[in-house]
Chains A and B, each alone.
Chain A
Amino acid sequence: MNAYTALQLAMRALWRNKTRAMLTTLGVVIGVGSVIAMLGIGSGAQQRIAEQLERLGTNNLMIRPGSVTHGGVRTGAGGKNTLTLADANAIAELPGVLAVAPSVRINQQVRYRGSNWGTNIEGVTPDYAIVRNWPLADGEFISRNHVRSASHVCVLGQTVARELFGLRNPLGESIIIKSLPCQVIGVLVEKGASAWGSDRDDAVFAPLTTVQRKLKGITHIETIELSAGDRADVFRLLKDIKQLLRQRHRLTGDQDDDFIIYNQAEMAQTSEESARVFTWLLGSIASISLLVGGIGIMNIMLVSVTERTREIGIRMALGARRRDILWQFLLEALVLSTTGGVLGVFIGLAGALSVTHFSELPVSVTPGSVLIAFLFAGLVGVFFGLHPARKAARLRPIEALRYE
């Protein structure tokens, strides 16, 4: 008996019990459909998180001075004056570092004609725009020359531009920071709120040296931010920077670090990890329904074997070998499960599409997840069909024939 004939026999047997076959298939349809939809929702969420982290700059590290203790009073992070521009330049030499942005910050009133606005003044270098991945809306950013000569120029965040200038174009105008007139040379694009809720557009950027000398009167650096070219480099850089700074700051073995390195990649990793867990969770819950569908197949096939014992006996009397009987029942289970698989793929796709359509949730159904769900359905058919099929094939012909 060839495969085609065997398949035909199986199809005919199923056709004789249409309603039952359809209901059995439904279990697999729901199982496969929910696996596909759930995996789609899960990996959609994963993608969205990855995008958000990308925008956040997950390859970044931030270094701040450590705390100082004065007679038992500890100042908290940033209390020390230990970071210098030379430190920043040394870090820039490390392999895998894309850009280094040393900065200082001061809170000041800024004025333009009649209006004033209290904001952060950030003293930065050209690399700041690279590290923060922050393009300009108009004009230009702080240049090396500006830093070298401590020029009286500034770049505005959107919030400051709006508060001081309203709808007017601030380019070329002069604003007054503290008592220092600065020419506006650029405006940054809107960045929105940070992950921690502060308005990132509420800032004015000036050359590092200008803020250091003319607004704060200091020579050290308050913050060094840096970008690694690759996420994979972040953890190595973490160690390298620590070693470099300890060496530069002449710290001996038992002394604590006088700086703190903040790692956004770690946070990114945690978020991604939880998204992955989320996907697996959804997927495994859905797999359970597929499993239940499989048990439905086994149940129906077992009933079918008992019900058709006499038929099996007749077929054996007519010359069916054990393996012919085995194949017939196994194929019936396989036809049920793969039909369920195909329909389930469509239902799953439709479900995923309607989720994207009716909610904000992104859904990404990959060909891989479709293939896995489909193969899993086939496997369910074999696994749960094998036992009833073997039971049928093992029947003794005379007993099967006598069965009432």
Chain B
Amino acid sequence: MTAPLLQVQALHKSYVLDGVTIQALRDINLEVEPGEFVTIMGPSGSGKSTLMHILGCLDVPDAGSYRLQDQDVTRLGSDHLAALRNREIGFVFQNFNLLPRTSALENVETPLIYAGVGRVERRQRARAALERMGLGERLYHLPNQLSGGQAQRVAIARALVTRPSLLLADEPTGNVDTATSAEIMNLLNGLNRQDGLTIVLITHEQEVAEHAGRRLFLRDGQLEAHP
């Protein structure tokens, strides 16, 4: 049996907002095997984003352990976390988070710059990633010249260009219409089935969650199997 890709045990996280301490996550336990497609659902304020940030190595938990690719993430310094984000994790955000006034190609190149990939190879890989997303004609378009669906596909290309082991998607369909939403979910499903890409997706939409293999529910900072 293979080791889990990520393993979270007894994870706690609280933060202080306007002087009030909020228990965002309480005793979270989660294992994700390579090749899984997991959705985490929950109403707003349930701690989804906090969990997403910790899984994405953008934040560290107060207590508990988080192992990614058999590395204890909670012990790593900021440089190692940056390297881990760069190599192992691809992010897809609700609002795309493309670099403004920067072409699609340069956006996709950016993680490769921080990975230390040379200029020629960088160009080539970024172009290939965009072509795979059907954006071969949009290489030099700026984010504001792209439709929502196109922008999200650029973001997916950027997330995948470093060949990460985990794709973290935070409400990837939150800012697009229904047709585009279905298109994006099909795309993610295809990546999961054909390429064996491990995906953890956070959403509050029932229909989106239905695409996934395993569904979890986050309520008041605690994780439950979906009823």
User: A: which residues have CB within 8 A of B?
Assistant: 1-2, 5, 9, 12, 16, 310-311, 313-324, 396-398, 401
Contact = CB atoms under 8 A, between A and B. Distances in A.
A358 B34 CA distance: 79
A311 B113 contact: no
Contacts of A314: 97-99
B37 interface: no
Contact of B113 (A1, A16, A317, A322): A1
B101 A319 contact: no
* B interface, size bucket: 20 to 34
B110 interface: yes
Nearest to B170: A401
A16 B58 contact: no
A5 B113 contact: yes
A401 B58 contact: yes
Nearest 10 interchain pairs by C-beta: A319-B86, A319-B114, A318-B111, A321-B82, A397-B58, A16-B101, A314-B97, A321-B79, A398-B58, A398-B53
Given A321-B114, A397-B58, 15 more contacts: A5-B113, A9-B113, A311-B100, A316-B85, A318-B91, A318-B110, A319-B111, A319-B162, A320-B82, A322-B78, A322-B79, A323-B79, A324-B114, A396-B59, A401-B97
A398 B59 contact: yes
B158 interface: yes
A317 B115 contact: no
Contacts of A324: 82, 114
Contact of A319 (B53, B83, B99, B102): B83
Given A1-B113, A398-B53, A317 B85 contact: yes
A350 B115 CA distance: 46
Contacts of B59: 396-398
A5 B98 CA distance: 20
A125 B56 CA distance: 99
Nearest to A9: B113
Nearest to B155: A314
Given A9-B113, A311-B99, A401-B97, A318 B158 contact: yes
Contacts of B19: none
A235 B86 CA distance: 73
A320 B114 contact: yes
A323 B114 CA distance: 11
B116 interface: yes
Interface in B72-117: 78-79, 82-83, 85-87, 91, 93, 97-102, 106, 110-111, 113-116
Nearest to B53: A398
Given A398-B53, A401-B58, A317 B114 contact: no
A315 B79 CA distance: 13
Contacts of B79: 321-323
A310 B82 contact: no
A48 B86 CA distance: 64
B58 A319 contact: no
A234 B97 CA distance: 77
A397 B113 CA distance: 18
Nearest to A404: B95
A343 B224 CA distance: 65
Nearest to B84: A319
A324 B102 CA distance: 18
A302 B78 CA distance: 23
Nearest to A322: B78
A316 B113 contact: no
Nearest to B110: A318
A310 B86 contact: no
A321 B158 contact: no
A35 B91 CA distance: 50
B79 to A, nearest CB: 5
Contact of A317 (B91, B100, B101, B106): B91
